[in-house]
């Protein structure tokens, strides 16, 4: 065990990425680079618009700024290393670097669940309790919900991360992924991984189902309220205030829930890798466009800025 533990600390891991001919790697490099640049530009544009326009300085757009800021760092945690792997064909990464990348990617992912739940609660108050919205959703509560989302996201992964870094790796050190995911580490470990798997499942169960429950309950009340609005224009106006958030929620939960509903960790690594691309690269790119194209206030602010 001691020898395995020493190897796990001293020797580097190798990120396999997407093995294939040079043309495939070059194409993936350009695709990942384009998506990364669009993610940075789009989410920074959202933050700049909200800061520059007083009309957008409301709880809804404060949460949106937090989400955009999170997407920038969520993508940055894994894409630059993937680009370096594609460019150099050398996916070497140290044990400490791999553990740090894993911790930040999953912590930011958990934070996104909590932020989306907070945004759903905000939309519930705005549509179902409009007369009490300002008295309930005070700046103090908004700040607490945002800060709580960040702190909860980073605290939730602390336990599984502490268990993961104690694993030993005696054989292959090739990680079948383009970033340091927990599942490939479990496959490579030569020690008992039941504690890690149980802790990871428990955190995923609590975070995903807990935030999903808040979101579902919020939208159940929202839809029931919208249906009771007598005029079609009123229903459309009410739904337009939450349609962007609902679209993001469906994309995010659709991809991430799949990652935790698997019969075998090892047999589903290739499929998991493909779905993770949607989760870590495509979704952060889509969010700014979804909020820009489907939100009247953001479109108006963008038009004035341009």
Query: What pLDDT is stored for residue 86 in this prediction?
Result: 84
Domain hosting residue 260, numbered range: 2-305
Q: Could you identify the residue written with the tokens 């549509």?
A: 127
pLDDT of amino acid 1 = 38
pLDDT of residue 44: 93
The answer to whether 175 touches 185, Cβ cutoff 8 Å, is yes
Positions of the chain with pLDDT under 50? 1-9, 263-267
pTM above 0.85, yes or no: yes
Three-state secondary-structure class, residue 13: strand
Would you state the pLDDT for residue 262?
Answer: 52
Work out the angle at residue 116's Cα, subtended by the Cα atoms of residues 147 and 253, and round it to the nearest 5 degrees. Answer: 135
* DSSP state for residue 278 in the 8-state scheme: I
Structure confidence by residue, pLDDT tens digits, 198-255? 888 888 889 988 998 999 999 999 989 888 888 877 787 777 778 778 888 888 887 7
pLDDT for the residue numbered 116: 92
Number of independent structural domains in the chain: 1
How far apart are alpha carbons 104 and 30 in whole angstroms?
A: 24
User: Under a CB-based contact definition with an 8 Å cutoff, are residues 182 and 196 in contact?
Assistant: yes
Q: Quote the DSSP letter at residue 138.
A: -
CA angle 286-290-295, nearest 5°? Answer: 160
Segment 14-32, tens digit of pLDDT:
888 777 778 888 888 999 9
pLDDT, position 228? 86
Residue 107 maps to which CATH number? 1.20.1070.10
Q: Are 160 and 182 in contact (CB under 8 A)?
A: yes
């Amino acid at each position: 065990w001691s020898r395995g533990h020493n190897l796990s600390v001293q020797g580097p891991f190798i990120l396999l990425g997407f093995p294939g001919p040079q043309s495939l790697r070059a194409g993936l490099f350009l695709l990942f680079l384009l998506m990364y640049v669009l993610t940075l530009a789009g989410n920074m544009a959202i933050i700049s618009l909200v800061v520059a326009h007083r009309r957008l300085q409301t709880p809804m757009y404060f949460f949106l700024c937090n989400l955009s800021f999170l997407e920038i760092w969520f993508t940055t945690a894994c894409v630059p290393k993937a680009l370096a792997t594609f460019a150099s064909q050398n996916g070497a990464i140290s044990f400490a670097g791999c553990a740090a990348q894993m911790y930040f990617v999953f912590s930011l992912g958990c934070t996104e669940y909590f932020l989306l739940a907070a945004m759903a609660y905000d939309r519930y108050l705005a549509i179902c309790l409009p007369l009490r919205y300002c008295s309930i959703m005070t700046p103090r509560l908004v700040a607490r919900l945002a800060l709580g989302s960040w702190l909860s996201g980073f605290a939730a992964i602390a336990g599984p991360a502490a268990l993961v870094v104690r694993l030993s790796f005696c054989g292959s050190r090739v990680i079948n992924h383009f970033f340091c995911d927990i599942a490939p580490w479990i496959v490579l470990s030569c020690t008992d991984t039941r504690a890690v798997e149980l802790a990871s499942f428990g955190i995923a169960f609590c975070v995903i189902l807990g935030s999903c429950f808040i979101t579902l309950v919020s939208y159940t009340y929202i839809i029931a309220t919208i249906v009771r609005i007598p005029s079609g224009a009123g229903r459309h106006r009410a739904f337009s205030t939450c349609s962007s958030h609902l679209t993001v929620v469906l994309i995010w939960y659709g991809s991430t829930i799949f990652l935790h509903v698997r019969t075998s960790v090892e047999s589903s690594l290739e499929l998991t890798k493909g779905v993770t691309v949607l989760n870590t690269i495509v979704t952060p790119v889509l969010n700014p466009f979804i909020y820009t194209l489907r939100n009247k206030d953001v479109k108006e602010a963008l038009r004035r800025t341009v």
